[in-house]
Amino acid sequence: MARGTLRILLGAAPGVGKTYTMLEEAHQKVAQGVDTVVALALHHGRKETASLLDGLEIIPPKRVEYRGSSFDEMDVEAVLRRAPQLALVDEYAHTVVGEGVARKRWQDVELLLAAGIDVISTLNIQHLASLGDVVSQITNTKQGETVPDDVVRRANQIELVDISPELLRQRLSAGHVYAADKVDAALANYFRMGNLSALRELALLWLADQVEDGLSAYRADNRIEASWPTRERVVVGLTGGAEGEVLIRRAARILARVSGGELLGVHVRAADGVLGESPREIEAQRQLLKDLGGSYHSVTGDDPAQALLQFARSANATQLVVGTSRRKWLARLLKGPGVGSKVVRGSGDIDVHMVSHPLGAKGIRFRRVGAPGRRRLILGFALAIFLPSLIEAVLATWVPDNFVTDTLLQLVGCVIVAVVGGLWPALFAAVFSSLLLNFFSAEPTLTFSIADPENLLSLVVFVLVSVVVAVVVDVATRRTREALRAGAEAATLSELARGAVAGEDSLQTFLDQVREAFRVDSVALLVDDSADSGGAEQTRWRLEAASGENPPLAPETADNSEEVEPGLVLALDGRVLDASDRRLLAAFGAHLVALRQRIQLNASRRENMRLAEGNTMRTSILRAVSHDLRTPLAAIKLSVSSLRQEEVHFAPDDEAELLASIESSADRLDALVGNLLDMSRISSDAVNPLLGPVRWSDAIDAALLGQPEGAVRLELPPNMPAVEADPGMLERVIANVVENALKYAPDSDLVLVGTVSGIPMIDGHPASELRIVDHGRGVAAEDVVAMFRPFQRLDDVPAGSGVGLGLAVAKGFTEAMGGVLSAEATPGGGLTMVVRLPLSAGRRAAPTGDIDPAHSQERGAL
Looking at residues 771-789, what average pLDDT do you find? 77
Where residue 347 falls among pLDDT bands split at 50, 70, 90? confident
Residue-wise pLDDT for 379-414, tens only, equals 878 888 888 888 888 877 776 667 777 777 888 888
- Choose from 203-217, 601-615, 752-766, 808-822 the range with maximum mean pLDDT: 808-822
Q: Specify the 3-state DSSP secondary structure of 128.
A: strand
pLDDT number for residue 142: 67
Closest CA relative to residue 339, chosen from 354, 357, 349: 354
Three-state SS for 131?
coil
* Residue type for position 544: E
**146: closest CA among 211, 220, 93?**
93
Q: What is the mean pLDDT of residues 451-471?
A: 77
Does residue 815 have a pLDDT over 50?
A: yes
| d(C-alpha 439, C-alpha 450), whole Å | 9
Residue 617 has what pLDDT?
Answer: 57
The pLDDT, as a whole number, for residue 496 is: 59
pLDDT at residue 228 tops 80: no
Q: Where is pLDDT greater, at 147 or 221?
A: 147
| pLDDT value for 8 | 92
User: Helix, strand, or coil here: 172?
Assistant: helix
Closest CA relative to residue 510, chosen from 486, 534, 492, 488: 492
pLDDT of residue 119: 93
Separation CA 90–CA 542 (nearest Å):
44
Can you give the pLDDT at residue 858? 34
Which stretch of 28-37, 52-61, 67-76, 89-98 has the lowest confidence by average pLDDT?
A: 67-76
Work out the angle at residue 731's Cα, subtended by the Cα atoms of residues 687 and 632, and round it to the nearest 5 degrees.
85
Give residues with Cβ within 8 angstroms of 13, minimum separation 6: 124, 126, 168, 190, 191, 195, 196, 199, 200
With bands split at pLDDT 50, 70 and 90, how would you rate the model's confidence at 27? very high
Radius of gyration, CA atoms only, the chain:
40
* Residues above pLDDT 70, as percent of the chain: 74
- Per-residue confidence (pLDDT) for residue 277, from 0 to 100: 61
One-letter amino acid identity for 651? A
- The pLDDT, as a whole number, for residue 861 is 33
CA distance 838 to 721: 10
Distance, CA of 500 to CA of 508 (rounded, Å): 13
Residue 332 has pLDDT above 70, yes or no: no
Query: Coil, strand, or helix at residue 821?
Result: strand
Is the pLDDT at 853 greater than 50, yes or no? Answer: no
What's the pTM? 0.37
Residue-wise pLDDT for 530-556, tens only, equals 644 444 455 578 888 888 877 888 888
**Does the structure show a pLDDT above 90 at 62?**
no
Reduced to 3 DSSP states, what percent helix, strand and coil does the chain have, rounded to the nearest 5?
A: 50, 20, 35
Report whether pLDDT(152) > 70: yes
- The predicted pLDDT at position 164 comes to 84
Contact 238, 267 (CB under 8 A): yes
Among 231, 191, 226, which residue's Cα sits nearest to residue 211?
Answer: 231
Which residues, listed in sequence order, are joined to residue 530 by a DSSP beta bridge? none
Bridge-based pairing of strands 351-355 and 319-323 is parallel
**Quick check: 100 pLDDT over 70?**
no
User: What's the pLDDT at 335?
Assistant: 56
pLDDT at 221 over 70: no
Q: What is the pLDDT of residue 852?
A: 36
Average pLDDT over residues 63-71: 72
In contact, 514 and 547? CB cutoff 8 Å: yes
Tell me if residue 111 falls in helix, strand or coil: helix
User: By the 8 A CB rule, do 176 and 48 touch?
Assistant: yes
Query: Between residues 683 and 278, which one has the greater pLDDT?
Result: 278
For residues 360-365, give the mean pLDDT: 50
Max CA distance (Å), the chain? 152
Residue 464 identity: L
Strand partners, 832: 773, 824
**pLDDT, average across residues 302-328:** 79
CB 46 within 8 A of CB 18: no
Q: Are the beta carbons of 734 and 703 closer than 8 angstroms?
A: yes
Mean pLDDT value across the chain: 75
Instruction: Give the pLDDT score at 176.
Output: 78
User: How far is 494 from 504, CA to CA, in rounded Å?
Assistant: 14
> Which region, left, alpha or beta, applies to residue 366 given φ > 0 means left and ψ of -120 to 50 means alpha?
beta
Residue with the larger pLDDT of the pair 859 and 67: 67
Determine the Cα–Cα distance for residues 809 and 806; give it in Å rounded to an integer. Answer: 5
Residue 493 pLDDT exceeds 80:
no
- Per-residue confidence (pLDDT) for residue 681, from 0 to 100: 61
Q: Which pLDDT value is given to residue 179?
A: 74
Question: What domains sit in the chain, N to C, each tagged with a CATH number?
Answer: 6-220 (3.40.50.300), 233-355 (3.40.50.620), 374-478 (no CATH), 505-529+541-627 (3.30.450), 631-683 (no CATH), 692-859 (3.30.565.10)
Give the C-alpha separation, 285 to 268, whole Å.
13
Burial of 20 (0-12, 13-18, 19+ CB in 10 A): buried
Q: Phi, psi (5° rounding) for residue 274? A: -110, 120
CA distances from 451 to 175, 443, 458, 504 (A): 117, 6, 13, 77
User: For residue 304, what is the enclosing H or E element?
Assistant: helix 304-314
Which has the higher per-residue pLDDT, 834 or 760?
A: 834
pLDDT at 122: 92
Evaluate if residue 37 carries a pLDDT over 90: yes
Which DSSP string corresponds to 492-524?
Answer: HHHHHHHHHHTT---HHHHHHHHHHHHT-SEEE
What tens digit of pLDDT does each residue of 629-644 get?
A: 667 777 888 888 888 8
Spatial neighbors of 422 by CB under 8 A, at least 6 apart, are 371, 372, 376, 377, 380, 473, 474, 477
Q: Which residues pair with 754 in a beta bridge?
A: 770
Per DSSP bridges, beta strands 820-825 and 759-760 are unpaired
Q: How far apart are CA 232 and CA 260, in angstroms?
A: 8
36 DSSP 8-state letter: E
Are β-strands 560-565 and 541-548 bridged in parallel, bridged antiparallel, or unpaired? unpaired
- Mean pLDDT throughout 768-791? 76
Q: Which residues pair with 119 in a beta bridge?
A: 6, 87
Torsion angle of alpha carbons 300, 304, 308, 309, nearest 10°?
-130
Verify cis geometry, omega within 30 degrees of 0, for the bond prior to 652: no
Could you tell me the CA-to-CA distances from 803 to 78, 620, 729, 812, 861 in Å, in that order? 58, 10, 20, 16, 29
Confidence bin at 369 (pLDDT 50/70/90): very low
User: How many other CB atoms sit within 10 Å of the CB of residue 439?
Assistant: 14
Chain-centroid distance, C-alpha 109: 30
How much of the chain exceeds pLDDT 90, in percent? 4
Q: How confident is the model at residue 614 (pLDDT cuts 50, 70, 90)?
A: low
Cβ atoms of residues 732 and 809 within 8 Å: yes
Strand pairing class (262-270; 118-124): unpaired
Q: Is 706 helix (H, G, I), strand (E, B) or coil?
A: coil
Q: What angle do CA 233, 238, 239 make, to 5 degrees?
A: 160
